[in-house]
C-alpha cells in the first residue's frame, strides 16, 4: 500500500511525540512492505509565529493532498494573551471544520499494568474497553445565532436529521467491529434535538439487527461511567455531551499520555491526534509519554487505511512494553528509574 501522510507536530511536546509516532510508522512500513510518504506542515502557535495564522493555507493544501493527518498538540503560554483569531486552538477547530471531520472517536481501554494510576478501584477499571463516538461539527459549538450583549448571551443547539444520521451510522459500523453494543446518549426528556436524535437512532437501527441499542440520558451516563464503566462498548452522542463525557472517561485509565483519538469523515480521510495537550512545562525535556501519539498512528492504520493487522501490531507492542515494566515519567512514582521519550519509543520499535 502507498499512502501520503501529513504530519503537523504543533507546539510544546507535539514535535517530540509525533517524531516518535513517525518512527513507529516507518517500522510498520518496512515490516509490512508499505510506503508512507510523510510531509510536514505547521499548525497552532508555530504557524502563528511564522504566518500570523493558526491554520495557514499551505497547511490546508498539504492536508488536502494527503490521505490522513497526524497532529501533535497546539498551544502554550506564549500565545495565551493573543486575540481570539490568533489563538493556537483556532487552528484545530478550523481544520476539523474545513475537512468536515464529523466523527470523533476516543477509545478508552484499561491497560492492566497501568491500573495503579487509575482514580477508580482496580476491579471497577480493569475491564474497561469502550469507544466514545462524538459528533464533532454540529450542535452547540457551531449553532447560530451565537452572540452576546452586555447582559444576555445566546448559543444555539441545532442538529439536522442528516447530521445525526451520519454519526449514528458510523457508531453502528464501529460497534460491528467491536462487541455490538451501542449506548446512544441524549437528553430526550428535555431537548428537542435529543428527541430527533432518538427518532433517527430508532430508524437507523433497523438496518443493524445485530446491534444492541440502549438509549441513555446524559446525566445518568455520567454516573455510570464512574460506577460501571466496563458496561459500555460504543457510546454515541452529540458534540457537547461527547466533549464532557469523553474527558470524564479519559481519566479512568490513569494517564492522559496513553489516549489516542481520531476525527474522521465517511470517505476514510481522518485526523489523528493524542487526547493530551502540548504540556509546555515538560516540552523538550524527553519526559513526554509518546504512547498516545503512537496509538494515534495505530488508529490511522485501522480507520483510514483498513490495515487492521498493522494497527494491532502497534497496540500489542505498546502493551508489551508497559507489561515489561517500562514507563515514562508520567506513569511512575518519583524516584524510580524511568525511560525518556526516545528510550521508550525504541522499546516499542524493538518489540515491532
For ligand NAI, the binding residues (CB under 6 A) are 13, 17, 73-76, 89, 92, 256-257, 273, 276-282, 288-289, 292, 330
Q: Of 40, 100, 109, 141, which one is the catalytic site residue? A: 141
What is the separation of C-alpha 141 from the centre of its chain, rounded to a whole number of angstroms?
18
Q: Of 11, 67, 233, 243, which one is the catalytic site residue? A: 243
Is 279 annotated as contributing to ligand binding? no
Q: Extract the runs of DSSP E, i.e. beta strands, from 160-287.
A: 181-186, 212-217, 234-237, 260-264, 270-274
Catalytic residue status for 187: yes
Q: Decide if 192 contacts 139 (C-beta within 8 A).
A: no
Catalytic residue status for 243: yes
Nearer Cβ to ligand NAI (22/292):
292
Look at residue 91 and give the partner it binds from ligand NAI, Mg ion, none, a contact being a CB closer than 5 to 8 Å depending on partner kind.
Answer: none
Residue the block writes with cell 509525533: 18
Residue the block writes with cell 501490531: 313
278 closest CA partner among 8, 23, 66: 8
d(CA 241, CA 93): 17
Q: DSSP class of residue 212? A: E
Q: How far is the CB of 230 from ligand NAI (least distance, A)?
A: 25
Q: How far is the CB of 182 from ligand NAI (least distance, A)?
A: 26
Catalytic residue status for 141: yes
Nearer Cβ to ligand NAI (183/262):
262
Q: Which of residues 199-258 bind Mg ion (CB under 5 A)?
A: 243, 247
Q: Decide if 94 contacts 31 (C-beta within 8 A).
A: no
Is 89 annotated as contributing to ligand binding? yes
Q: What are phi and psi of 230, to 5 degrees?
A: -70, -15
Q: How far is the CB of 107 from ligand NAI (least distance, A)?
A: 16
Annotated binding-site residues read: 76-89, 96, 106, 134, 219, 243, 247
Chain residues that interact with Mg ion, rule: CB under 5 A: 243, 247
Annotated binding site for Mg(2+): 219, 243, 247
Amino acid at each position: 500500500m502507498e499512502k501520503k501522510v501529513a504530519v503537523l507536530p504543533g507546539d510544546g511536546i507535539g514535535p517530540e511525540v509525533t517524531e516518535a509516532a513517525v518512527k513507529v510508522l516507518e517500522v510498520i512500513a518496512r515490516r509490512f512492505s508499505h510506503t508512507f510518504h510523510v510531509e510536514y506542515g505547521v499548525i497552532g502557535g508555530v504557524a502563528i509565529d511564522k504566518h500570523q495564522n493558526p491554520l495557514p493555507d499551505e497547511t490546508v493544501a498539504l492536508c488536502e493532498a494527503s490521505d490522513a493527518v497526524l497532529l501533535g498538540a497546539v498551544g502554550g503560554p506564549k500565545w495565551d494573551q493573543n486575540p481570539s483569531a490568533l489563538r493556537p486552538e483556532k487552528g484545530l477547530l478550523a481544520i476539523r471544520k474545513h475537512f468536515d471531520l464529523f466523527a470523533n472517536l476516543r477509545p478508552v481501554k484499561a491497560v492492566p499494568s497501568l491500573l495503579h494510576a487509575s482514580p477508580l478501584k482496580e476491579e471497577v477499571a480493569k475491564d474497561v474497553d469502550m469507544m466514545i463516538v462524538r459528533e464533532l461539527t454540529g450542535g452547540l459549538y457551531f449553532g447560530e445565532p451565537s452572540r452576546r450583549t452586555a447582559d444576555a448571551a445566546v448559543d444555539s443547539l441545532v442538529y439536522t436529521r442528516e447530521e445525526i444520521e451520519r454519526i449514528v451510522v458510523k457508531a453502528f459500523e464501529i460497534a460491528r467491529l467491536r462487541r455490538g453494543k451501542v449506548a446512544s446518549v441524549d437528553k430526550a426528556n428535555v431537548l428537542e434535538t435529543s428527541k430527533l436524535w432518538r427518532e433517527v437512532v430508532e430508524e437507523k437501527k433497523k438496518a443493524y439487527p445485530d446491534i444492541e441499542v440502549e438509549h441513555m440520558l446524559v446525566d445518568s451516563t455520567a454516573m455510570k461511567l464512574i460506577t460501571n464503566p466496563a458496561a459500555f462498548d460504543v457510546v454515541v452522542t452529540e458534540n457537547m455531551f461527547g466533549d464532557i463525557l469523553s474527558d470524564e472517561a479519559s481519566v479512568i485509565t490513569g494517564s492522559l499520555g496513553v489516549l489516542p483519538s481520531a476525527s474522521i469523515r465517511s470517505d476514510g480521510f481522518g485526523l489523528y491526534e493524542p487526547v493530551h495537550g502540548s504540556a509546555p512545562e515538560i516540552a523538550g525535556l524527553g519526559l513526554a509519554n509518546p504512547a498516545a501519539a503512537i496509538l494515534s498512528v495505530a488508529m490511522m492504520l485501522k480507520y483510514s487505511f483498513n490495515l487492521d493487522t498493522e494497527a494491532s501490531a502497534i497496540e500489542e507492542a505498546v502493551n508489551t512494553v508497559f507489561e515489561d515494566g517500562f514507563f515514562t515519567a508520567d506513569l511512575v512514582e518519583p524516584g524510580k528509574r524511568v525511560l525518556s521519550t526516545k528510550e521508550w519509543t525504541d522499546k516499542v520499535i524493538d518489540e515491532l
